[in-house]
C-alpha cells in the first residue's frame, strides 16, 4: 500500500483565486475526489448542484445530438471549473461533462459557495473571470472549426491538453479524438501520421508522446495562441 499525494486546492487557478478572495472558508468547503477516465460528472439535463475544479484531471465538455454523437466544445483543467450553467443559476446542465484525463477534482457544493459568499445568489469575481474566459474560448473554437483544417485543430487540441498536464505523454485513441472533434477516425489517423512524420509526436498502443513541442506549434493555427492568452 502507498499513499498518493493529493494536490492542494490551489493547484486549480480559479479555486486559488477564490481562496485568495474569500479566505480559508473556501478551503474547508471543497472536497477532493479522484476520478478515472471516462467517469461522467454530469449528463445533459442533469440537475447540477456543485462545481468541479480539476487539480490534476482534465474534463471534457461535450454537446450531443439526437443520434447520440458527441462533440467536445471545451476542455477544462487547472485554469477553471465545470458547472458554469449551475453557477449562473441554471441547474439543468446544457452539456455533458466527462473526465478525459484521470486525476483529482475538487468539488464545491453551490450551497457551500453561498455560505462562503454570504448570499443566496452567489457571484464571485474570480469565478466570473473564468466564465468570461470560457465564452471567449468557445467563440474562438467555433471560428477554428469553421475556418481551419483538421490538422490544425488536432495540433490545437494536443497543445491545449499538454498545457493542462504535468508531463508530455498521455493515453488517447484515434477514435476518441475523432469523436470529440466530430471528424472521421481515418482523418485523425492521417493527421497523426503527418505529425509523427514531422517528429512532433510518437504514438504507441494508444499512448501519445509529444516529442517536439516546437514542431507541434508550427502545425497549429493562430487560435491556439488566442485561446492560451485567455487561459494563462
Ligand atoms: Zn484555428
> DSSP letters of 119-152?
SSS---HHHHHHHHHHHHHHHHHHHHHHHS-HHH
CA of 140 to the centre of ligand 1 (A): 7
CA of 149 to the centre of ligand 1 (A): 8
Which pLDDT belongs to residue 2? 56
Which pLDDT belongs to residue 232? 67
Question: Tens of pLDDT along 98-154?
Answer: 999 999 999 999 999 999 888 766 788 989 999 999 999 999 999 999 999 999 999
The three-point CA angle 55-82-154 to 5° equals: 80
**Pick from 69, 129, 64, 122: nearest CA to 97:** 64
CA of 103 to the centre of ligand 1 (A): 28
β-sheet with 103-109: strand ranges across: 30-35, 103-109, 50-54
Which pLDDT belongs to residue 122? 72
Is the Cβ–Cβ distance between 181 and 188 less than 8 Å?
Answer: yes
How crowded is the C-beta side of 6, counted as CA atoms within 13 Å?
Answer: 11
CA of 222 to the centre of ligand 1 (A): 6
Tell me yes or no: is domain 148-231 CATH 3.50.30.40: no
Going from the C-alpha of 127 to that of each of 14, 64, 111, 120, 225, the distances in angstroms are: 6, 26, 15, 16, 22
- DSSP class of residue 5 equals P
Neighbours of ion ligand 1 (CB under 5 A): 144, 148, 221, 223
CA of 166 to the centre of ligand 1 (A): 24
Which pLDDT belongs to residue 12? 97
Fold of 9-142: Jelly Rolls (2.60.120)
Question: What is the SS3 assignment for 41?
Answer: strand
CA of 17 to the centre of ligand 1 (A): 29
CA of 120 to the centre of ligand 1 (A): 40
Evaluate the CA torsion angle 78, 36, 96, 141 in order and state its sign: positive
Ranges of residues in the chain whose predicted pLDDT is under 50: none
Residues of the chain with CATH 1.10.10.10: 148-231
Residues of the chain with CATH 2.60.120.10: 9-142
Predicted TM-score (pTM) of this structure: 0.95
Amino acid at each position: 500500500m502507498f499513499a498518493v499525494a493529493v494536490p492542494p486546492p490551489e493547484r486549480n487557478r480559479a479555486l486559488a483565486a477564490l481562496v485568495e478572495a474569500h479566505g480559508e472558508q473556501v478551503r474547508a468547503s471543497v472536497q477532493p475526489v479522484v476520478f478515472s477516465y471516462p467517469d461522467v460528472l454530469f449528463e445533459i439535463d442533469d440537475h447540477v448542484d456543485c462545481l468541479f475544479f480539476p487539480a490534476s484531471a482534465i474534463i471534457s465538455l461535450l454537446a450531443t445530438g439526437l443520434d447520440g454523437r458527441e462533440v467536445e466544445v471545451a476542455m477544462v483543467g487547472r485554469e477553471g471549473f465545470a458547472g458554469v450553467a449551475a453557477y449562473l443559476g441554471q441547474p439543468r446542465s446544457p452539456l455533458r461533462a466527462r473526465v478525459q484525463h484521470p486525476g483529482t477534482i475538487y468539488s464545491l457544493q453551490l450551497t457551500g459557495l453561498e455560505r462562503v459568499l454570504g448570499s443566496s445568489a452567489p457571484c464571485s469575481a474570480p469565478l466570473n473571470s473564468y466564465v468570461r474566459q470560457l465564452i471567449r474560448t468557445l467563440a474562438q473554437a467555433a471560428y477554428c472549426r469553421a475556418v481551419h483544417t483538421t490538422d490544425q485543430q488536432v495540433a490545437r487540441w494536443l497543445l491545449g491538453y499538454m498545457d493542462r498536464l504535468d508531463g508530455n505523454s498521455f493515453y488517447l485513441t484515434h477514435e476518441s479524438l475523432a469523436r470529440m472533434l466530430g471528424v472521421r477516425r481515418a482523418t485523425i489517423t492521417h493527421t497523426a501520421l503527418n505529425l509523427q512524420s514531422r517528429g512532433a509526436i510518437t504514438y504507441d498502443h494508444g499512448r501519445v508522446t509529444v516529442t517536439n513541442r516546437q514542431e507541434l506549434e508550427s502545425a497549429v493555427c493562430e487560435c491556439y495562441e488566442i485561446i492560451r492568452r485567455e487561459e494563462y
